[in-house]
């Protein structure tokens, strides 16, 4: 079973403004509402792939109730702790010529509710996978992921961590099964500016040496890199698409890779499928549907075949 944790979920309110002039009334041509949060994105794509998973998290208020109800209607199993006060944050995304975002702060989370979430997470069994991804609310300890992994250490659970900067580096001590920074995040960690998968290889190797079993580095249109737990390097190009919305593309890569690994696929196949999932989401308004993923996957395999000839 695969479990995801979303400590800082959100309702993403996406507007498509006709104009965006500060100090004046602007009007939108259309709007959409999505349940946001990195772990929720992972669960959404896993559900689309018909991979059993449970989404853990913390929610509050009428927006939290809407989030949970929407997940359940979509067929996503959820196990959220509800707070007594506050409401799950709303992120406003203005999708015009340039995407502009205003992210909400979110509710204050009391310690007793954190303990309740940890008690629920205790149900995870040996052989299960736990995906820890996304931001940590300011009211929680900065090392919250480390706290969770130490609590579950020694139980034979596979940890997947997709987090920025210091949060990612602190997670390496737990020897996670997979981490997935992008090239810009790797650059900030090592004070460098890698762009392509090939340029990211030495940094992925360092992350592996520091504890990560498998390291995927996504490089946008340049493709992606996997440095696997056998110290083998795999790279894939990116299938060309019309970019619609990059939100959730990295989460989709994580979901695709974990899903294929659970099936028993080899790392090369898992990386290709992960790339297809990420690209398909980038070409979609929300998290990609299976039909789009399959089309992109077929296109990617064709590109790789042509390059090898």
Render pLDDT for 191-211 as a digit per residue (tens, 0 to 9): 999 999 999 999 999 999 999
Per-residue pLDDT for 309 more than 80?
Answer: no
Per-residue pLDDT for 112 more than 90?
Answer: yes
Would 294 be classed as within a structural domain? yes
The SS3 of residue 80 is strand
Tell me the DSSP string of 177-245: SEE--BHHHHHHHHT----SHHHHHHHHHHHHHTT-SEEEEE-GGG-EEEE-TTS-EEEE---------
Would 92 be classed as within a structural domain? no
The band of 188, judged by pLDDT with boundaries at 50, 70 and 90, is very high
The SS3 of residue 283 is coil
Would 12 be classed as within a structural domain? no
pLDDT average, residue stretch 93-100: 80
Per-residue pLDDT for 180 more than 90?
Answer: yes
Per-residue pLDDT for 98 more than 80?
Answer: no
Closest alpha carbon to 46 in 253, 247, 243: 253
Per-residue pLDDT for 165 more than 90?
Answer: no
Q: How far apart are CA 149 and CA 133, in angstroms?
A: 13
Domain total for the chain? 1
| Domain that residue 290 falls in | 177-308
pLDDT score recorded for residue 10: 94
Q: How far apart are CA 86 and CA 198, in angstroms?
A: 46
Tokens of 174: 């737990």
**Active-site positions?**
251
Burial readout 52-66 (b: 16 or more C-beta within 10 A, e: otherwise): ebbbbbbbbbebbeb
pLDDT score recorded for residue 100: 86
The band of 172, judged by pLDDT with boundaries at 50, 70 and 90, is very high
The band of 280, judged by pLDDT with boundaries at 50, 70 and 90, is very high
Q: Of the ranges 5-9, 87-91, 94-98, 103-107, which one carries the lowest mean pLDDT score?
A: 94-98
- Please give the helix or strand (H or E) that residue 120 lies within, else none: helix 111-121
Would 292 be classed as within a structural domain? yes
Would 38 be classed as within a structural domain? no
pLDDT score recorded for residue 22: 85
Would 299 be classed as within a structural domain? yes
Would 42 be classed as within a structural domain? no
Tell me the DSSP string of 43-66: HHHHHHTT--EEEEEEE-HHHHHH
Give the CATH number for residue 263: 3.40.1190.20
pTM of the complete model: 0.91
pLDDT average, residue stretch 83-105: 89
Would 46 be classed as within a structural domain? no
Average pLDDT, the chain: 93
């Amino acid at each position: 079973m695969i479990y995801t944790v979303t400590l800082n979920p959100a309702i993403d309110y996406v507007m498509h403004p006709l104009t965006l002039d500060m100090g004046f009334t602007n009007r939108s041509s259309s709007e959409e509402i999505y349940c946001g949060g990195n772990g929720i994105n992972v669960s959404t794509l896993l559900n689309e792939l018909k991979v059993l998973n449970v989404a853990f998290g913390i929610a509050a208020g009428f927006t939290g109730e809407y989030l949970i109800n929407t997940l359940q209607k979509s067929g996503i199993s959820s196990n959220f702790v509800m707070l007594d006060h506050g409401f799950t944050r709303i992120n406003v995304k203005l999708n015009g010529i340039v995407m502009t975002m205003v992210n909400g702060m979110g509710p204050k989370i009391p310690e007793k509710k954190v303990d309740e979430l940890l008690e629920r997470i205790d149900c995870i069994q040996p052989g299960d996978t736990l995906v820890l991804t996304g931001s940590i609310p300011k009211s929680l300890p900065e090392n919250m992921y480390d706290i969770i992994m130490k609590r579950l250490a020694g139980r034979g659970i596979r940890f997947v961590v997709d987090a920025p900067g210091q949060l990612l580096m602190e997670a390496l001590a737990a020897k996670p099964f997979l981490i997935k920074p992008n090239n810009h995040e790797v650059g900030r960690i090592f004070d460098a500016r890698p762009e392509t998968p090939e340029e990211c290889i030495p940094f992925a190797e360092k992350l592996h040496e520091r504890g990560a079993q498998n390291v995927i580095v996504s490089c946008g249109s340049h493709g992606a890199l996997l440095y696997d737990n056998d110290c083998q390097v795999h790279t894939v190009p990116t299938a060309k698409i019309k970019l619609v919305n990059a939100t959730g593309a990295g989460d989709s890569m994580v979901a695709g890779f974990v899903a294929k690994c659970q099936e028993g696929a080899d790392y090369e196949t898992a990386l290709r499928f992960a790339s297809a999932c990420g690209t398909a989401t980038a070409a979609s308004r929300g998290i990609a549907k299976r039909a789009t993923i399959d089309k992109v996957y077929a296109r990617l395999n064709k590109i790789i075949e042509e390059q090898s000839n």
